[in-house]
Amino acid sequence: MAGFSRSWIVFATLLVAAALLFLRGESGVAYAQSAPTSCSTSTSTSTSTSTSSPTSTNNFTAAALDTPGDGPAAAAAPPCLTGSDPSAGVNDVAKQRFNQMITNRVLGTVLLGINEQINCNDCVSAFGSVGSFSAGVHGRKNITDNLALLAGLAYTHYGENGYSVTAAPIGALALRYDFTDWGKSRPFFDIGTILTPYEKVRYRRSYQTSLGAVTVDGNTTAENYAVYGRAGWIGRISPRDEVAAAVEVWQLWQRVKGYTDQSIAFNPFDTTFNSGTDRTTLAKIGGQWTHLITNGIEGNINGGYVHAFGTQSGVVAAVTGQGMVTPTIGNQGWFEYGGRLGFRVSKGWVFDVFVNGTLGPQPVGNTAHGGIGLRINY
């Protein structure tokens, strides 16, 4: 009986020892979780009692884990790279492309004699301008007493708000019908086109990240086309004055070839732009006044308000980590202005100083393109 009791005592002692070893093993796990290697972000929401609810993308709370005094602290996860809005840089490119369409048209209207009187003799003018570099020739030829041909060709280089256009030839052609047999006050009509079949373009986009700002360029080619119709009224109010008012409707297209960002050291939101076509419709109401200041000096001022509607941006961009971005451009409005002073240096020869530009909010903005020209009337 005594041997039996001793056996139970030994057996119970072994059970207690095993239990103690098991419990010590559980506590000896020692919080052996590996440090997270993926990036984590945390946000907090506060109420009037200043409480917060941290969250994390790796399913661990952003707060430090409570550990025993002898347990190791959990390692902090590296921060995630974030951007304020990487798509904002893509939206800027869409605005640059809209500005490009409008500037191309403004430069093209110089070739159609926007700074000259509605009705005048045959002439040819060679010119150069700054603000946007442009050099070319334009003129008019009266086919009949009522019908005139307006045409011009120029080589341009211009830029605004981060983009730059180089190696861009612009051609313009229009017909004007002036009801001269109606007398001093009469209607006139224009129909024409502006063509830029090729241009080198550099677009620039910028965005902010948690590690700093990024600015990256992209190089590609583009082409611009425009057609328009104009209806107006001309008045010869004196032998030295001609005034005119008109309404114009334009349709613009701009085709841009696809491209990718240039390779730079740090561009986490690298972007690829698909080929696409920008388009918009413009309605303009404006007027002009040509005045013979002295027998040797003449002047012209012109201007109007332009409203753009039905605009469709052709920008479709694939942004790394963001997906597809397709910006939109709403209706826009701005003023256009122009002016010219002509100095008659000899019979049939006129030296011109001119300026044309826009006034308004972005993406069109305030621009000015000035130049000089030598005009021959014959």
Q: What is the pLDDT of residues 208-233, one digit of tens each?
A: 888 889 999 999 999 999 999 999 99
What is the spatial distance between Cα 334 and Cα 327, in angstroms, rounded to a whole number?
A: 21
Higher-confidence position of 262 and 47: 262
Q: What is the pTM of this model?
A: 0.78
pLDDT at 305 over 80: yes
- Cβ atoms of 376 and 352 within 8 Å: the answer is no
| Dist. CA 270–CA 218, nearest whole Å | 11
**With the C-alpha atoms ordered 84, 212, 61, 51, is the resulting torsion angle positive or negative?**
negative
Please say if the pLDDT value at position 186 is more than 50.
Answer: yes
Q: What CA–CA distance (Å, rounded) separates 333 from 264? A: 37
Q: Which range in 36-45, 72-81, 170-179 is most confidently predicted, on average pLDDT?
A: 170-179
What is d(CA 139, CA 191) in angstroms, rounded to the nearest whole number? 16
Distance CA 173, CA 192 (A): 6
As a whole number of Å, the CA-based R_g of the chain is 36
Per the CB < 8 A criterion, the answer to whether 246 and 230 are in contact is yes
Tens digits of per-residue pLDDT, 117-145? 999 999 999 999 887 888 999 999 999 99
CB-count burial class (<10 Å; 0-12, 13-18, 19+) for 332: buried
| Domains detected in the chain | 88-377 (2.40.128.130)
User: What is the mean pLDDT of the segment spanning 351-355?
Assistant: 96
What whole-number distance in Å separates Cα of residue 233 and Cα of residue 248? 12
Cα 82 to Cα 207: distance, rounded to the nearest angstrom: 11
Q: What are phi and psi of 322, to 5 degrees?
A: -120, -25
Amino acid at 16: V
Name the residue among 74, 79, 67, 85 with its Cα closest to residue 43. 79
The residue count for the chain = 378
The conformational region for residue 188 under phi > 0 = left, psi -120 to 50 = alpha, else beta, is beta
Nearest to 253 by CA among 201, 195, 315: 195
pLDDT at 37 over 70: no
Phi, psi of 345 (to 5 degrees): -80, -25
pLDDT tens digits, one per residue of 52-63 = 333 333 333 333
pLDDT, mean over the chain: 84
Q: Strand order in 271-273's β-sheet?
A: 259-260, 271-273, 317-319, 323-325
Q: What is the DSSP string of 48-111?
A: TT-------TTSS-SSPPP--TTSPPPPPPPBPP-BS-THHHHHHHHHHHHHHHHHHHHHHHHH
Query: Which residue is it, tokens 């007027």?
Result: 287
Amino acid 273: pLDDT: 97
Here the tokens at position 224 are: 């611009």
